[in-house]
Structures are given as C-alpha cells and as structure tokens.
C-alpha cells in the first residue's frame, strides 16, 4: 500500500493549489519504508518540514505544487531510479538542492548525473548519521549553488585570483574544479583525483577534507609507491606483536588512525593485485583486520585516491582490478596540467616568488619581461612542483630585485623533465663549415654535424653580434625570441 507521511495535510494541498508549506521543505523519497523511517529519525532535529514518499511518481506530483528546498532520493526504485527522479525535480525547481542515496550498485549513472549537475550531493548507504545531518543542515541554511555548466553561475568569491585551500588560480577551469570540490566534500563517497605528476593532487585531497564536515578529524596521506608490498600492507592495516618477523610491538594502521577523517592514497596503481583485493573489502564492507589477528575493526574514514598514471590503462592491461576501480572512482576530480592553465602560470610564478623571497629574506620583486616569456614558453612537464622548485632555487642562488631570463635558463639547464641536460650533451665543438671529403674508412656518424649544433652556433653567433640582445638576434635570424629561449633550454 502506498504511504505518504507529512506534517501537512496532503489532501488539502491537492485540492487547493494556493496552499503552500511555510518554511523550508525537506523531501525524502525511498521505496523502502524502513529506510524512510530511519531517515526521519535521523533528521527529526533539522529546521524544516519533512515530507516523505515511498513512490517517486507521487513525489513528483507533490513537487508540481510545492518547491522543496532539499530533496533526498534513493537511487534504486521500481518506478524510476533516483537520478531520473532528481533530473525531473531539477527541471521543475532548478534551485532545489538534490541529494542521492546509493550503495554503489550503479556507479556509471550516479557519476554521470553528478558530473552533469543533476546530483549535487552524494550520501552512501549505510550512511553516518552525523554526516547526513551535516549535509542536510548545510543545504538548508546556505544559498543554493547552481551547477557550473549553466550561465551566470561563477561564484562571486571566485572572481579574480583565488587561493582555495592553497590552490592558487584565476583560470576558469580551476574555478569549476573548486566548485566540484565543494560538491564532492559533502559526501563520504570515495573520490579519485587524476592528473599528471606535480599538478597538486594532494592539495585537492586536502581541500576536499577541509571543506567537509569531518575537517576536524585527521587527514592522513600516504604514497603507495614509497613502500614495498609487505610494508604498505602493515602501514595500512596495522599489526599486532608477533604478526611477522620484526613485529616487536603492536602498531596501529592508517585505516584506524584516520578515524572519521580522510585517508589519501596516492599512486594507488602501484599496489599489488593481492593488496588491491584486500583494499576492495575495506571500501566495500567498511571494515578491516590488522595483520596477525582475527579481530575485525570498523573503517569510518573517507578514501581519496590518486594516480599520475592512467588508471584506465592499468585496468585494461590487467594491472588494476576493475571492481576496485569502480569502487574508488565514484567521484572523479581531474586536474589540468600547468601548461593548460593559461594565465595561472604567471600568477603562480609570482605567488611562489613572493613566498620564497619572504622565507629566504631575499629582495626579488618581479620577473623581467624576457623571464616571463621564457617561463611561458616552457612546457613544465613536472607541473607546479617543478615550477616551485625552480623558483625556489633561483631565489636562493641569486641576488637582486628582478628574476632575469639568464637566471631562468641557468635554473632549467640541468632539468631532466622534457629537456636534455648539459651533463648529457657533447661539449660545444669548434665547427669547421668547409666541405671535406668523407673518409670511406670512417663512420658517417662521426663526420655529419648534428643539426642542433649548427643551430646553436648560428644562434650564439647572432646573440654575440647583437651584444646579448635576444629580440634583435631573433629578428636577424627571422625567428621569434621564444624560439631562441626554447633552443637555449635544450642545450
């Protein structure tokens, strides 16, 4: 039998379209009556009128005449799934905040709906009462944040340069990422962060933690690539005394130490297949067993994982379990490489320059125009980490008021990411441009002058002739100054 529970009279609403509920409305939809009652008990203290239905079709009828402030819907229901229901609610009331309940059976639909803005918040079954109340109360008391794919919805506090929990950005793509982090932080669902090495995946994990309801709980980060298989298992699960040779005392694992906070697992694709199977059980059952004991402990923390390698390729090549991939990849946050972040490169460079000058008590105030052009012409394969290290090194090793192009070239000349180092280059030879016959007994390779050597000689000669004026030398060579800068970096 269909049941409708509400603190207002349903019949009078249907009979009189002018009758509306005073105050905020919290609408709950789940086909399981026991779940409905459990949700009502958990949320009885929230400052809202709670209306609940066990049929999404009846809930939609209600929504035709009433705008709920917040809607909580189960994902799996016979008439339509939760994503379909919330999409219809969104079309009728775009400003209603939409929360989905799911036990992970339908990853693709839920993830796609989240990315499309149909689902704004995600609650896992079984839920934590504290988490659920926090999410609902926050949704009821704060203005609705519309999805960033619609017009006129960039948050006002994102205008201009933003420092979002240590992530400095002005580029629009990063503002969208900040919005995604805010949405993702309202859930305890696993989050997967993708991006090249050095793009700031741990900063994103910390931002998710700091935006969440459990920000006062521990944040623990571990790089899985730094440990052997046995050691990482002991680090994660913990062990008791005598569990293995060398286990002279009990040790609490990271699953336990994280408590109700956040556990960040970086470079997760480096885990062995056997350890992946054990991690799958932790994520799926929310419990773990320390090494050397049969005592099962509950796992309460949120898992955020990341990898600089393509986890999709790892799955296809059989190096990473597909079922674990889906468990960990409920919410995906992708970080763009630094070279694709537009003007952020300059802003971040100036931010690092200011910070490291303060730390090192140096007086640099700016980059020269040529230095800026050189920084922009470089691909930064090591991304933000490489940029910060290069700027820190320049601040320490130089003096003055301005970072010059020569300082940048010198700092980048020994890098191994994307450029051949000076140490690996043949010393600059004296080139004889005169034609001479090739000795048949000698190798052609020893007689042919490499093209880069010819270019280097021509460029250095032009710069010497122009007394170090690179733009003038570039004009004489009929190339752009940035071309000369790139060539100099590769020598």
Taking only the tens place, the pLDDT of each residue in 14-50 is 333 334 445 789 999 998 888 899 898 889 888 888 9
Give yes or no: residues 363 and 328 share one domain.
no
Average pLDDT value for the chain: 79
Give yes or no: residues 196 and 332 share one domain.
yes
In-domain check, residue 176: no
Give yes or no: residues 191 and 326 share one domain.
yes
What DSSP assignment string belongs to 2-49? --EEESS-HHHHHH-TT---SS-EEEEE-S-HHHHHHHHHHTTTSSSE
pLDDT at residue 171, as a whole number: 78
**Domain end call among 314, 336, 358:** 336
* pLDDT one-digit tens code per residue, 65-118: 888 999 999 888 888 888 889 999 988 888 888 888 876 555 556 666 766 778
428 pLDDT more than 70: no
Max distance between CA atoms of the chain, in angstroms, equals: 104
436 or 340, higher pLDDT = 340
In-domain check, residue 310: yes
* pLDDT one-digit tens code per residue, 170-204: 877 788 899 999 988 888 889 999 999 999 999 99
φ, ψ for residue 49, nearest 5 deg: -80, 120
State the average pLDDT over residues 276-292.
93
State the average pLDDT over residues 293-298.
92
**Confidence band for 426, pLDDT divided at 50, 70 and 90:** very low
Please give the C-alpha separations between residue 388 and each of 208, 285, 339, 391, in angstroms, as whole numbers. Answer: 23, 41, 14, 5
pLDDT at residue 388, as a whole number: 94
* pLDDT one-digit tens code per residue, 376-403: 878 888 899 999 999 999 999 999 999 9
pLDDT at residue 7, as a whole number: 36
**Confidence band for 484, pLDDT divided at 50, 70 and 90:** confident
* pLDDT one-digit tens code per residue, 214-255: 999 999 999 998 888 888 888 999 999 888 888 888 899 999
Give yes or no: residues 329 and 359 share one domain.
no
Give yes or no: residues 261 and 364 share one domain.
no
Element (H, E) at 142: none
In-domain check, residue 177: no
Give yes or no: residues 406 and 475 share one domain.
no
pLDDT at residue 333, as a whole number: 93
Looking only at the bridges linking them, the beta strands covering 297-298 and 251-252 are unpaired
Give yes or no: residues 55 and 118 share one domain.
yes
Give yes or no: residues 306 and 429 share one domain.
no
Domain range enclosing 316:
185-336
> For 389-441, where are the E strands, in sequence order?
402-403
> What whole-number distance in Å separates Cα of residue 12 and Cα of residue 6?
12
> What whole-number distance in Å separates Cα of residue 201 and Cα of residue 214?
19
The top-scoring range by mean pLDDT among 4-13, 279-288, 411-420 is 279-288
159 pLDDT more than 80: no
**Confidence band for 298, pLDDT divided at 50, 70 and 90:** very high
The count of domains in the chain is 4
| Residues of the chain above pLDDT 90, percent | 36
pLDDT at residue 23, as a whole number: 76
pLDDT at residue 362, as a whole number: 94
List the single range of 63-67, 121-125, 243-247, 448-452 with lowest mean pLDDT. Answer: 448-452
Give yes or no: residues 342 and 368 share one domain.
yes
Element (H, E) at 239: strand 238-239
Tokens of 8: 């207002």
φ, ψ for residue 264, nearest 5 deg: -100, 115
276 pLDDT more than 90: yes
pLDDT at residue 444, as a whole number: 42
> What whole-number distance in Å separates Cα of residue 279 and Cα of residue 291?
14
In-domain check, residue 163: no
Length of the chain: 491
pLDDT at residue 151, as a whole number: 34
pLDDT at residue 440, as a whole number: 44
**Domain end call among 280, 302, 336:** 336
pLDDT at residue 4, as a whole number: 43
pLDDT at residue 434, as a whole number: 39
Give yes or no: residues 329 and 194 share one domain.
yes
23 or 300, higher pLDDT = 300
State the average pLDDT over residues 287-299.
92
Q: At what angle do helices 201-211 and 172-184 cross, to 10 degrees?
A: 50
Give yes or no: residues 134 and 202 share one domain.
no
356 pLDDT more than 70: yes
Give yes or no: residues 433 and 414 share one domain.
no
> What whole-number distance in Å separates Cα of residue 314 and Cα of residue 294?
32
446 or 458, higher pLDDT = 458
Count of beta carbons in the 10 Å neighbourhood of residue 97: 23
Closest among 210, 214, 192 to 201, alpha carbons compared: 192
**Confidence band for 417, pLDDT divided at 50, 70 and 90:** very low
Count of beta carbons in the 10 Å neighbourhood of residue 384: 24
467 pLDDT more than 50: yes
**Confidence band for 284, pLDDT divided at 50, 70 and 90:** very high
User: pTM of the full predicted structure?
Assistant: 0.58
> What whole-number distance in Å separates Cα of residue 479 and Cα of residue 472?
10
């Amino acid at each position: 039998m269909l049941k409708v529970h509400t603190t207002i009279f349903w019949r009078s609403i249907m009979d009189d379209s002018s009758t509306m509920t005073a105050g905020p409305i919290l609408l709950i939809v789940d086909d399981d009556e026991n779940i409905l009652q459990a949700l009502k008990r958990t949320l009885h203290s929230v400052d809202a009128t709670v209306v609940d239905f066990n049929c999404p079709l009846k809930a939609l009828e209600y929504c035709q005449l009433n705008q709920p402030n917040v809607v909580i819907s189960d994902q799996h229901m016979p008439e339509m799934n939760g994503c379909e229901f919330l999409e219809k609610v969104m079309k009728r009331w775009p400003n209603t905040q939409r929360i989905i309940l799911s036990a992970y059976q339908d990853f693709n639909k839920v993830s796609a709906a989240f990315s499309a803005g149909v689902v704004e918040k995600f609650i896992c079954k079984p839920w934590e009462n504290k988490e659920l109340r926090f999410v609902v109360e926050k949704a009821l008391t704060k203005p609705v944040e519309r999805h960033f794919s619609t017009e006129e919805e960039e948050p006002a506090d994102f205008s201009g340069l933003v420092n979002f929990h240590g992530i400095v950005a002005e580029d629009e793509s990063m503002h969208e990422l900040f919005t995604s982090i805010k949405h993702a932080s309202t859930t305890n669902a696993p989050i997967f962060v993708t991006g090249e090495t050095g793009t700031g995946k741990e900063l994103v994990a910390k931002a998710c933690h700091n935006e969440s309801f459990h920000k006062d709980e521990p944040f623990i980060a571990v790089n899985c690539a730094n440990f052997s298989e046995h050691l990482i298992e002991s680090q994660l699960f913990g062990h008791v005394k005598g569990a293995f040779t060398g286990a002279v005392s009990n040790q609490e694992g990271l699953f336990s130490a994280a408590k109700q906070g956040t556990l960040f697992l970086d470079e997760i694709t480096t885990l062995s297949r056997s350890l992946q199977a054990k991690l799958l059980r932790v994520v799926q059952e929310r419990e773990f067993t320390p090494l050397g004991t049969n005592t099962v402990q509950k796992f309460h923390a949120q898992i955020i994982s990341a990898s600089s390698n393509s986890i999709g390729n790892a799955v296809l090549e059989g190096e990473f379990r597909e079922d674990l991939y889906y468990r960990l990849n409920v919410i995906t946050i992708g970080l763009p490489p630094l070279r694709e972040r537009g003007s952020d490169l300059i802003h971040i460079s100036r931010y690092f320059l200011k910070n490291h000058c303060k730390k090192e008590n140096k007086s640099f105030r700016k980059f020269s125009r040529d230095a800026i052009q050189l920084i922009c012409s470089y691909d930064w394969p090591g991304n933000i980490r490489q940029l910060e290290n290069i700027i820190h090194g320049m601040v320490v090793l130089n003096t003055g008021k301005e970072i010059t192009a020569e300082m940048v070239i010198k700092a980048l000349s020994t890098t191994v990411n994307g450029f051949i180092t000076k140490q690996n280059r043949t010393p600059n030879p004296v080139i004889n441009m005169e034609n001479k016959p090739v000795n048949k007994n000698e190798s052609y390779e020893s007689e042919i002058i490499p093209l880069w050597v010819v270019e280097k000689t021509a460029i250095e000669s032009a710069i010497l002739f122009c007394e170090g004026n690179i733009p003038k030398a570039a004009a004489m060579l009929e190339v752009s100054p940035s071309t000369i800068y790139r060539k100099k970096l590769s020598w």
